[in-house]
Structure 1
Amino acid sequence: MTAIEKLEILKNNLSKLKNLTVAFSGGVDSTFLLTVAKDVLNENVLAVTVNAFVHTNKEIKESIEYANKIDVKHTVLNIKDINIQEFIDNVPQRCYFCKKEIFTQIIKISNKNKIINIADGSNIDDLSDFRPGMKALKELGIMSPLKEAGLTKQEIRDLSKMLDIPTWNKPSFACLASRIPYNHKITQQKLQMVEKSEEFISQLGFKQFRVRHHGEIARIELPQSDILKFIESDSSNKACKYLKSLGFNYVTIDLLGYRTGSMNEVL
Structure 2
Amino acid sequence: MNLTGFFKENPKIALGFSGGVDSSYLLYAAAQCGVDIKPYFIKTAFQPEFELEDARRFAKQVGVELTVISHEILSHEEVVKNPANRCYYCKTVLFGLLKERAVSDGYTVLIDGTNASDDVGDRPGMRALKEMQVRSPLRECGLTKMEIRCLSKEAGLFTWNKPAYACLATRIQTGTGIEAEMLKKVEHAEEELFQMGYTDFRVRVFHGAARLQFQPEDMMHAIEKRKEIRERLAPWFDTVLLDMKGREP
Normalised by the size of structure 2, how large is the TM-score? 0.95
CA contact (8 A) 1:210 1:221 kept: yes
CA contact (8 A) 1:14 1:40 kept: yes
The match for 1:245 among 210, 235, 238 is 235
Q: Which residue of 2 aligns with 1:179?
A: 171
Provide the rounded CA distance (Å) in 2 between the counterparts of 1:159 and 1:259.
26
Provide the rounded CA distance (Å) in 2 between the counterparts of 1:85 and 1:106.
20
The match for 1:92 among 84, 104, 119 is 84
1:132 counterpart = 2:129: no
User: What does residue range 55-204 of structure 1 map to in structure 2 within 5 Å?
Assistant: 55-127=47-119, 131-204=123-196
1:15 counterpart = 2:4: no
Provide the rounded CA distance (Å) in 2 between the counterparts of 1:99 and 1:128.
14
Question: Structure 2: which amino acid aligns with 1:139?
Answer: E
SS of 1:47's equivalent? Answer: strand
The structure in which a higher percent of residues are helix is 1
SS of 2:11's equivalent? Answer: coil
Structure 1 unaligned residues grouped into runs of 5+: 1-7, 261-267
Question: Structure 2: which amino acid aligns with 1:30?
Answer: S
Q: CA RMSD in A?
A: 1.5
Q: For this pair of structures, how many residues does the alignment match?
A: 249
Map Cα deviations across residues 3-41 of structure 1 (whole Å, 9 max, x no partner): xxxxx7122112211301111110111101111111123
User: What does residue range 18-33 of structure 1 map to in structure 2 within 5 Å?
Assistant: 18-33=11-26
Provide the rounded CA distance (Å) in 1 between the counterparts of 2:181 and 2:232.
16
Q: Which residue of 2 aligns with 1:263?
A: none
Q: Which runs of 4+ in 1 moved over 3 A?
A: none
% identity of equivalent residues: 33
Instruction: Give 1:173 shift.
Output: 0.6
Q: Which residue of 1 aligns with 2:34?
A: 41
Provide the rounded CA distance (Å) in 1 between the counterparts of 2:155 and 2:61.
15
Q: Are residues 129 and 195 of structure 1, via their aligned partners in 2, closer, same or farther at CA, if it must alter by over 3 Å?
A: farther
Structure 2 unaligned residues grouped into runs of 5+: none
